[in-house]
């Protein structure tokens, strides 16, 4: 038997895992072990630091509930979600609107609403605005009957899902018309802090990061034959547009609140226009491209052991 040392341990693990029948699982786990071992060697990881890391990951797991997904938040704040989104965008057969984070606050059970509906249950005077845009293919051809799911925070900077037992608010599912246009009423979103009362918040505070996200509205768009799009619009005048704590914002997704847009389908209100281009479906779209999910779906999946955590948006 060979002697195991800090130099030979990596190869010993890889040899033992070489029996993995699933080739993709073998590839991913081999790389994970190589990089984990390399990380430990690079920082000369001490036993105390290792146990602190284990305690941190345990705390992240314990913070997860049907309303909160702390692991998605951890992935987001480490830039891993944005990286996986970027890698996914590169697999599209056409360049459509870029992906942004699904985040930890997506909820599958959003109501289907008529065009023009106000999605906020309460609207403070002066905060109402119109949100509209066109969903097209990459050549600008309209996509009729596309499903456009939208969610955002309320005026307090919280999602409905963060308020215990809260009813559905600030979210809804709309359908595009024959010109590919969706339109709804909402309130102007504001920037907000990610939840700072858990282990991820402690990490952010320890790193002296501000924890803020720029004002944004999330979108999940589906149309038969096209790649599902998970993205978000960002308000250009937000001071944190360039230093989003979860690395979701980018210049190509930034839009303005317009007080006199002659093309707005609902007159008399300020408006935000956000057009989206969808790539045709390709080989890479046989599996979901979502990075994040409804926290309740993750809890269900953990209980049943079923890896399927969501249904396609276009269904
Ligand atoms: Fe968000």
Task: Give residue 84 CA to ligand 1 midpoint distance, Å.
Answer: 17
The CA 148 to ligand 1 mean position distance, Å, reads: 16
Interval between CA 304 and ligand 1 midpoint (Å): 28
Question: How far does the centroid of ligand 1 lie from the alpha carbon of residue 19, in Å?
Answer: 42
Cα-to-centroid distance, 191 and ligand 1 (Å) = 9
Q: β-pairing, 128-137 with 271-273? A: parallel
For ligand 1, the distance from its centroid to the CA atom of residue 16, given in whole angstroms, is 42
Using the mean position of ligand 1's atoms as its centre, give its distance from the Cα of residue 202 in Å: 19
**What length is written for the chain?**
315
Q: From ligand 1's centre to the CA of 50, what distance in Å?
A: 32
Q: What is residue 24's predicted lDDT score, i.e. its pLDDT? A: 97
pLDDT of residue 130: 97
Answer for the pair 45, 266: CB distance below 8 angstroms, yes or no: no
pLDDT at 26: 98
Cα(232) to centroid(ligand 1), Å: 8
The whole-number pLDDT of residue 165 equals 63
pLDDT at 313: 36
Give me ligand 1 centre to Cα 152, in Å.
6
CA of 52 to the centre of ligand 1 (A): 29
CA distance 118 to 250: 27
- Ordered per-residue pLDDT tens for the chain, 315 residues: 778 999 999 999 999 999 999 999 999 999 999 999 999 999 999 999 999 999 999 999 999 988 888 999 999 999 999 999 999 999 999 999 999 998 878 888 789 999 999 999 888 888 899 999 999 999 999 999 999 999 999 878 888 887 766 688 899 999 999 999 999 999 999 999 999 999 999 999 999 999 999 999 999 999 999 999 999 999 999 999 999 999 999 999 999 999 999 999 999 999 999 999 999 998 888 888 787 767 777 667 766 665 444 433 332
pTM: 0.87
Decide: 201 and 211 in contact? Cβ < 8 Å. yes
Structure tokens at 301: 């999946």
Q: Report the separation in Å between the CA atom of 246 and the middle of ligand 1, taken as the mean of its atom positions.
A: 10
What is d(CA 214, CA 277) in angstroms, rounded to the nearest whole number?
Answer: 23
Rg of the chain over Cα atoms, rounded to whole angstroms, equals: 22
Q: Report the alpha-carbon distance of residue 70 to residue 62 in Å, rounded.
A: 9
From the CA of 153, how far away is ligand 1's center (Å)? 7
pLDDT score at 68: 86
State residue 300's pLDDT score: 72
Helices 23-43, 9-17: axis angle to 10 degrees equals 170
**Do residues 229 and 158 lie in contact, with contact meaning Cβ atoms separated by under 8 Å?**
no
CB of 210 closer than 8 Å to CB of 42: no
Q: How far is the CA of 176 from the centre of ligand 1 (A)?
A: 23
Q: How far apart are CA 135 and CA 141, in angstroms?
A: 8
Cα(216) to centroid of ligand 1, in Å?
A: 6
What's the 309 CA to ligand 1 centre distance in angstroms?
20
Beta strands (DSSP E) in 176-308 are: 181-187, 192-193, 212-213, 216-222, 229-235, 254-255, 257-258, 271-273, 276-278
Q: Which residue in this structure is represented by tokens 């913070």?
A: 63
pLDDT of residue 312: 36
Q: What pLDDT is stored for residue 306 in this prediction?
A: 53
């Amino acid at each position: 038997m060979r002697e195991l040392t800090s130099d030979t341990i990596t190869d010993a693990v890889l040899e033992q895992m070489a029996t993995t029948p699933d080739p993709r699982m073998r590839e991913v786990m081999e790389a994970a072990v190589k990089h984990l071992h390399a990380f430990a060697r690079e920082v000369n990881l001490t036993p105390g630091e290792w146990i602190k890391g284990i305690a941190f990951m345990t705390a992240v797991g314990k913070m997860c509930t049907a309303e909160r997904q702390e692991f998605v938040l951890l992935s987001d704040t480490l830039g891993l979600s944005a990286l996986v989104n970027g890698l996914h965008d590169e697999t599209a057969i056409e360049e459509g609107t870029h992906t942004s984070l699904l985040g930890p606050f997506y909820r599958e059970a959003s109501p289907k609403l008529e065009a023009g509906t106000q999605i906020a249950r309460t609207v403070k005077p002066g905060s109402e605005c119109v949100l509209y845009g066109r969903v097209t293919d990459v050549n600008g051809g309209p996509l009729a009957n596309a499903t456009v799911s939208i969610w955002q925070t309320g005026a307090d900077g919280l999602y409905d899902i963060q308020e215990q037992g809260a009813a559905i608010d600030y979210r809804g599912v709309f359908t595009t018309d024959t010109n590919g246009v969706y339109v709804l009423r909402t309130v102007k979103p504001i920037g907000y802090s990610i939840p700072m009362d858990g282990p991820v918040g402690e990490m952010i505070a320890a790193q002296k990061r501000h924890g803020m996200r720029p004002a944004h509205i999330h979108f999940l768009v589906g149309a038969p034959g096209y790649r599902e799009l998970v993205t978000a619009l960002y308000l250009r005048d937000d001071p944190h547009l360039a230093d989003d704590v979860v690395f979701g914002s980018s210049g190509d997704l930034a839009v303005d609140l317009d007080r006199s847009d002659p093309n707005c389908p609902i007159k008399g209100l300020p408006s935000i226009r956000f057009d989206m281009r969808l790539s045709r479906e390709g080989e890479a779209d046989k599996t979901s491209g979502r990075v994040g999910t409804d926290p309740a779906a993750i809890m269900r999946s953990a209980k049943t052991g079923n890896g399927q955590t969501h249904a396609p948006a276009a269904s």
